[in-house]
Amino acid sequence: MSAAFLFALAVSLCATVVAALFVTTWRDGDLVVAAVVAFVLLPVLVLTIMAWREAL
């Protein structure tokens, strides 16, 4: 396995955790925290896409 592939897996795991946190805060009705988590989620998703493009 290459370093790029392992990095893409790690970033994907981070994105999954942040997305799960977003869904949890959204369902709890805490919209301020959900907005902050969504703001954090967007760059993580962009980084995930970039990492997988490099790995594949």
Does residue 10 form part of some domain?
no
> Domain range spanning residue 39?
19-56
Q: What's the CA angle centered on 34, arms 36 and 37, to 5 degrees?
A: 40
Residue 11 counted as domain residue = no
Q: Determine, yes or no, domain membership for 13.
A: no
What residues contact 34, with CB distance under 8 A and at least 6 apart? 22, 25, 26
* DSSP conformation class of 39: H
In the chain, how many domains are there?
1
Cite the DSSP H helix spans in 1-56. 3-28, 31-55
| Residue-wise pLDDT tens digits, 16-53 | 999 999 999 999 999 999 999 999 999 999 999 999 99
Whether 49 maps to a domain, the answer reads: yes
The answer, yes or no, to whether residue 1 has pLDDT greater than 90, is no
Amino acid at 17: V
- At residue 52, the pLDDT reads 97
Q: So what's the pLDDT on residue 28?
A: 94
DSSP class of residue 41? H
In a domain, 56, yes or no: yes
Q: For position 11, what pLDDT does the model report?
A: 97
